[in-house]
Amino acid sequence: MSLTEEIKTHAGRLGFDLAGVTTAAPPRYGAYYAEWVERGMAGEMDYLGRQIEKRQDPGQILPNARSLVVVAMNYRCPDTDPAPDGTHSGKIAQYARGDDYHDVMKEKLQALLLFIRDRAGRPVEGRVYVDTGPVLEREFAVRAGLGWFGKHTNLIHKRVGSWLLIGEILLDIELDQDRPAADHCGTCTRCIEACPTDAIVEPYVVDSRRCVSYHTIELKGPIPTAYRAAMGDRVFGCDDCQDVCPWNRRAPVSGHSAFLPRPWNEMPGLIEMLGLTPEEFRTRFRGSPIKRTKRRGLLRNAAVALGNTKDLEAVPALADSLGDDEPLVRGHAAWALGNVGGDRALAELKRARKTEEDPWVIEEIEQALAECAAS
């Protein structure tokens, strides 16, 4: 068995669902990526604009780079039962319902690198990355035969679908290459049509500034008013483009216990979420991807989702949030009350307006008061 085959076999033993190998030649779409960032489509994700040179040439990350071992893990969760009538639950993207994939995959990749060093018969330099390094990993995954780049910009594999998390090891040794995967999206445009905010502005191009995942996770400030209603009940990420993908119809549920939903992450109650204290947030989301949005971001999202229910039963919880320590939470709670409307919401907004000092929150309250008065 060749070293390349040994590596891929051991990757399977470690729990990776897919593994392939490609060269460390510069990515074909490096210049396009730089242009995408230049066009502002990364939004406030400034980190995507850093180290552009390294993203365009793996040799600038690891001198004498020769190969990449690219791996993927399936994170698809079991289907959930609908929430009981009258219960307002938030929707969390499937990848974030279990443990943080960065931690899970990095540990396995480090073990794979140790295996490679043991089997190579000479000193080996390697770099391990899971989503956070200056590597255009989806292109390398395609080159390594793990799937193709879907029109929704996610990697798609014929058997596993697009529920895939990607990692890679950059190496200074030559390995046998796998054949690149062919595109099998054909004329299908279901992902483009399903996007609630038209963020897939053309096939294979996502404008992050329009994306619900960006708004609920990466955006640190207020969610633009124009996109709040389109968020629906989503409080962390969005899977709509993947939910409709024909290649996901028969995609298997993940066999990795780490990615199975934590009890509260499957269908979290919005009112309970809105009442989380800082300590409860830290405890509940320790080791979870959801910690990335921080408490203020998650409660911001929960307030918008509750406002989208237009249910008068949500008013007391939203009214309590008008007194939150975080202006970001107070402002979105005000918007939500304006969206729900009714006498109680109007009274709570008037009460908050008398004491609020933050200029942006005052603006949100006044807009909400106008909404209530017009309804």
Q: At what angle do helices 327-340 and 294-309 cross, to 10 degrees?
A: 0
Among 1-10, 99-108, 258-267, where is mean pLDDT lowest? 258-267
Return mean pLDDT, the chain: 95
Give the residue, 13 or 88, on which the prediction is more confident: 13
pTM of the model: 0.94
Q: Measured between alpha carbons, how far is residue 21 from residues 147, 171, 353 in Å?
A: 12, 11, 60
Instruction: Print burial letters for 90-120: b (CB count within 10 Å at least 16), e (below 16).
Output: bbbbbbbbbbbbbebbbebbebbbebbbeeb
* pLDDT of res. 82: 66
Q: Which of 225, 231, 270 is nearest to 370 (CA)?
A: 225
C-alpha–C-alpha distance, residues 191 and 200, integer Å: 8
39-94 pLDDT tens trace: 999 999 999 999 999 999 999 999 999 999 999 999 999 987 666 666 799 999 99
Residue 201 per-residue DSSP state? E
Q: Measured between alpha carbons, how far is residue 120 from residues 4, 34, 123 in Å?
A: 10, 35, 8
**Which helix (H) or strand (E) covers residue 127, if one does?**
strand 126-129
* pLDDT of res. 216: 98
Q: For the chain, what percent of residues have pLDDT higher than 70? A: 98
287-328 pLDDT tens trace: 999 999 999 999 999 999 999 999 999 999 999 999 999 999
Q: For the chain, what percent of residues have pLDDT higher than 90? A: 93
256-287 pLDDT tens trace: 999 999 988 878 999 999 999 999 999 999 99
205-254 pLDDT tens trace: 999 999 999 999 999 999 999 999 999 999 999 999 999 999 999 999 99
Active site positions, annotated: 131
Instruction: Report CA dihedral (219, 129, 177, 205) to the nearest 10 degrees.
Output: 0
* pLDDT of res. 56: 93
Q: Is the pLDDT of residue 103 over 80?
A: yes
C-alpha–C-alpha distance, residues 57 and 360, integer Å: 43
Tokens of 120: 């190579």
C-alpha–C-alpha distance, residues 231 and 336, integer Å: 12
At a CB cut-off of 8 Å and minimum separation 6, what does 232 contact? 91, 196, 305, 308
Instruction: Print burial letters for 329-368: b (CB count within 10 Å at least 16), e (below 16).
Output: bbbbbbbbbbbbbeebbbebbeebbeebeeeebbebbeeb
Give the residue, 267 or 367, on which the prediction is more confident: 367
- DSSP of 263-291, one letter per residue? GGGSS-BHHHHHT--HHHHHHHTTTSGGG
C-alpha–C-alpha distance, residues 126 and 370, integer Å: 59
C-alpha–C-alpha distance, residues 30 and 36, integer Å: 10
204 and 153 Cβ atoms separated by less than 8 Å: yes
* pLDDT of res. 1: 83
- DSSP of 40-102, one letter per residue? TTTTT-GGGGTTHHHHH-GGGTSTT--EEEEEEEE-PPPP-PPPPTT--B-EE-GGGSSS-HH
Tokens of 222: 């207020």
* pLDDT of res. 85: 61
Tokens of 348: 């709570």
* pLDDT of res. 212: 98
Query: Exposure of 81 by Cβ count < 10 A (0-12 exposed, 13-18 middle, 19+ buried)?
Result: exposed
Q: Which of 97, 98, 73 is nearest to 15 (CA)?
A: 73
Q: Where are the domains of the chain?
A: 3-77+96-171, 190-374
Using the structure block, give the residue that is written with the tokens 């709040």: 228
253 and 159 Cβ atoms separated by less than 8 Å: no
> No. of H helices and E strands in the chain?
16, 10
